[in-house]
């Protein structure tokens, strides 16, 4: 049996036990609806220990995919929600502790920077169970759409001393000698007395040792140093304007730069 099916079977067992034991667990399973990030994330060690104890008493297997907490949809009154492309049908895969799990229902919360696992076959109080996955164990995940796919990886300075951005999940758009990542994030504002989560992705490129934010075309070209003249010509001939460029356009510039550097190394 494949790894995904193997893990899914144990998840189903856990969720069944979880639902059956929910009445007795109410004293432990109390989740806050506070919209403040720190307040929302706060959950006692006793709650997690109870879930893990219940799970481990039932089966002798890794608890990696349930070592988290129940996800509360704090945005339920908002018209603009923080889940990435939640209105578009998609599937997902996950890399956790070196294992890959396919055919999952995943969402990405762009406000809290959290990966959400859903099991539409299990319900409690007429709602499907949604679990926040432990970000310390999630190495990356993929979202698959009809005409596109997004690859995310968890970045931190602890894993890479040269990483100079806030820790979290970033979409990896181009991963050559140079690199291009996007932080999919939301900011909150008030609209008609309700919270609205405004989607504001930010792109970063690495040409050298550190990531720099994509801002202007002039600043972008400057990053390429001695190759700036060639990069400017390439961008003009391909009508690449940094602020308006689609992801594949930025990637094409970086790929061209990598070929220039590789060619120089061969001629040395």
Share of the chain above pLDDT 70, in %: 71
* Cα 142 to Cα 171: distance, rounded to the nearest angstrom: 9
Q: Quick one: residue 126, left, alpha or beta (phi over 0 = left, psi -120 to 50 = alpha)?
A: left
pLDDT tens readout for residues 94-109: 999 889 999 999 999 9
Q: Stretch 45-68: mean pLDDT, rounded? A: 47
* b/e 112-138 (16+ beta carbons within 10 angstroms → b): bbbbbbbbeebeeeeeebbbbbbbebb
207: tokens are 């040409």
**Is the predicted pLDDT of residue 6 greater than 80, yes or no?**
no
Which of 48-57, 147-156, 233-242, 257-266 is predicted with the least confidence, judged by mean pLDDT?
Answer: 48-57
Q: Quick one: residue 168, left, alpha or beta (phi over 0 = left, psi -120 to 50 = alpha)?
A: left
156: tokens are 């931190």
pLDDT at 98: 87
- Enumerate the β-bridge partners of residue 168: 155
* Cα 94 to Cα 204: distance, rounded to the nearest angstrom: 23
Question: Predicted confidence band at 119 (pLDDT cuts at 50, 70, 90)?
Answer: confident
pLDDT tens readout for residues 201-247: 999 999 988 999 999 999 999 999 999 999 999 999 999 988 888 99
pLDDT at 193: 81
The per-residue pLDDT of the chain, averaged, comes to 79
């Amino acid at each position: 049996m494949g790894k995904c099916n193997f893990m899914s079977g144990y998840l189903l067992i856990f969720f069944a036990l979880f639902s059956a034991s929910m009445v007795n667990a109410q004293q432990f399973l109390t989740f806050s609806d506070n919209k403040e990030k720190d307040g929302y994330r706060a959950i006692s060690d006793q709650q997690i220990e109870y879930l893990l104890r219940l799970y481990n008493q039932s089966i002798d297997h890794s608890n990696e995919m349930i070592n988290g907490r129940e996800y509360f949809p704090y945005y339920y009154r908002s018209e603009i929600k923080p889940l990435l492309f939640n209105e578009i049908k998609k599937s997902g895969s996950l890399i956790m502790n070196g294992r890959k799990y396919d055919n999952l229902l995943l969402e990405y919360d762009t406000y809290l920077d959290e990966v959400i696992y859903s099991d539409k076959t299990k319900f409690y109080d007429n709602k499907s169970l949604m679990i926040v996955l432990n970000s310390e164990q999630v190495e990356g995940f993929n979202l698959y759409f009809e005409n596109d796919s997004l690859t995310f990886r968890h970045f931190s300075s602890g894993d890479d001393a040269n990483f100079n951005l806030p820790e979290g999940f970033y979409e990896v758009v181009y991963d050559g000698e140079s690199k291009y990542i996007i932080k999919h994030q939301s900011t909150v504002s008030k609209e008609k007395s309700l919270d609205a989560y405004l989607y504001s992705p930010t792109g970063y490129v690495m040409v050298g040792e550190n990531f720099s934010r994509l801002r202007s075309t002039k600043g972008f070209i400057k990053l390429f140093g001695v190759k700036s003249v060639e990069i400017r010509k390439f961008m003009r001939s391909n009508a690449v304007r940094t602020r308006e460029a689609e992801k594949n356009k930025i990637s094409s510039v970086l790929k061209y730069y990598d070929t220039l550097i590789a060619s120089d190394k061969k001629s040395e």
